[in-house]
Structure 1
Amino acid sequence: MDTKGKKILIADDEPDILEIIQYNLQAEGYTVYTAKDGDEALQRAKQVNPDLIILDIMMPRKTGTEVCSILRTQPAFKDTLIIFLTALNDESSQVRGFDTGADDYVNKPISPKLLLSRVNALFRRVGKKEEAGSNGILTVGNVVIDPVKFIVEVDNNEVSLAKKEFELLYLLASRPGRVFLRNEILNQVWGNDVIVGDRTIDVHIRKIRQKLGLDCITTVKGVGYKFDL
């Protein structure tokens, strides 16, 4: 994979972790920038406009979760890849992180090889999506989904969805009536290299239903989910 020109920002308040991650990513050919806390991470992100940001969750001034939430509200960082570093490995923490807009989680203590593998995997997924091109706007019944503007409308009223909620809804709505297997959903929305808990899909489906105000996603017990209107 061609890493030339790819910029990565790492934010962590532990100098040793910053140094080892920076060394390994630079050795792979990435251009790497660092920040020591949440406020500096926001400043550096605006300065260098990185392709991927690695955020420690527990940082001074602003947590990684707060930084991610702020960045996701800004159009310039809507599609920026974000990985959380965390010592918390419970499923509820992962779900909250994905709701905030994270693309992946890596648990501490960090394995540099594993982190590098996950970074490369995220860039490969983005590359495949870009090659495939956009599937365009989906209109199913009274639901309109625009993947370019990242907008969902129900009866002409805009509905705000988290990044993974949007990607999950778009996948299901792309083939109304078709049953998507759970493993298929995990692969296409989260990717093979991302490890998520069994309840992650269920939680996201429930939130989509609540936000849309529609019972448009049907659970096929023991199999998966389908979009019906």
Structure 2
Amino acid sequence: MDILIVEDEPEIAKLIQHTLDSEGFSCRVCRDGINALQVFREQQPDLIVLDLMIPGLDGLEVCARIRQKPGAKDPYILMLTAKGEEIDRVIGLSTGADDYMVKPFSPRELVARVRALLRRSLRQGGQSQVYRTQHFTVDLDQHTASRYLSPNAEEKLDLTTLEFNLLATFVSHPGRVWNRSQLIEKLWGDDFFGDERVVDTHVARLRKKVEPDPANPTFIKTVISVGYKFEDSGA
């Protein structure tokens, strides 16, 4: 697994690289945001350890640009910051980070977070299936998803692995209301570390790809004070 470390403090960057190298990961280090984007395009890492306060472009801007144009891979992003205020966590997750760590942190916690992110996948526990509703087809075996725009027009959805897994969870249980904890258990199980509101970030990103009007969702509905549910008529 390839990991890109974006950290301008030499001692911290060295600690992260040494810790992850010793766990068998292939690491590369960048010191600023502009260089990080260049290396990202060249390397296409599986995961990025991204400091919030870096020269050039800060971590939030780097994260946002990667999410806008992920390339061949849409990497997991673990954001680091010396700040611990609530607003920073919210901003980081809303920009597209998958997890969040506040400095100082232990090498053991870093490894646990990285491994948890890289293990994320939908836990099916059975044979692969194809789920169909009036507007969607999700094929777990082929790992493909489509949305029907009309009876004769089909749109292939370009989803990240996590977005696909989230859509499959919704489509396989239409009408069921999921709270954040249930979605975390379904998608990540015991591997999850971090803020539960990362679920909201991924739901918002999925809506942008499957909803005609993401601001007024037709399919993935918010259930106030509870969570989310998927609604669509059967095929």
Using the size of structure 2 for normalisation, the TM-score is: 0.71
Q: Do residues 40 (structure 1) and 35 (structure 2) align?
A: yes
The aligned residue for residue 174 of structure 1 is 172
The aligned residue for residue 20 of structure 1 is 15
2:83·2:102 contact (CA, 8 Å) conserved in 1? yes
Q: Do residues 228 (structure 1) and 209 (structure 2) align?
A: no
Task: Give the counterpart of 2:49 among 42, 54, 61.
Answer: 54
The aligned residue for residue 109 of structure 2 is 114
CA distance in 1, matches of 2:161, 2:85: 20
Q: Do residues 140 (structure 1) and 143 (structure 2) align?
A: no
2:41·2:71 contact (CA, 8 Å) conserved in 1? no
2:129·2:139 contact (CA, 8 Å) conserved in 1? no
CA distance in 1, matches of 2:110, 2:188: 16
Gaps of 5+ in 2: none
Q: How high is the sequence identity, in percent, across the aligned residues?
A: 37
Aligned-partner residue type, residue 25 of structure 1: L
CA distance in 2, matches of 1:116, 1:58: 21
The aligned residue for residue 73 of structure 2 is 77
Q: Do residues 196 (structure 1) and 228 (structure 2) align?
A: no
Aligned-partner residue type, residue 77 of structure 1: K
- Quote how far apart the aligned CAs of 1:215 are: 4.8
The aligned residue for residue 216 of structure 2 is 213
Question: Cα 1:110–1:172, aligned 2, differ >3 Å: closer, same or farther?
Answer: same
Query: Which piece of structure 1 moves more, 98-107 or 184-193?
Result: 184-193
Question: Cα 1:91–1:27, aligned 2, differ >3 Å: closer, same or farther?
Answer: same
Query: Which piece of structure 1 moves more, 87-96 or 17-26?
Result: 87-96
Aligned-partner residue type, residue 183 of structure 1: S
Using the size of structure 1 for normalisation, the TM-score is: 0.73
Q: Do residues 105 (structure 1) and 105 (structure 2) align?
A: no
CA distance in 1, matches of 2:222, 2:55: 42
Q: Do residues 63 (structure 1) and 62 (structure 2) align?
A: no
1:8·1:53 contact (CA, 8 Å) conserved in 2? yes
The aligned residue for residue 87 of structure 1 is 82
CA distance in 2, matches of 1:166, 1:212: 20
Number of aligned positions between the proteins:
220
Question: Cα 1:76–1:135, aligned 2, differ >3 Å: closer, same or farther?
Answer: farther
Gaps of 5+ in 1: 1-5
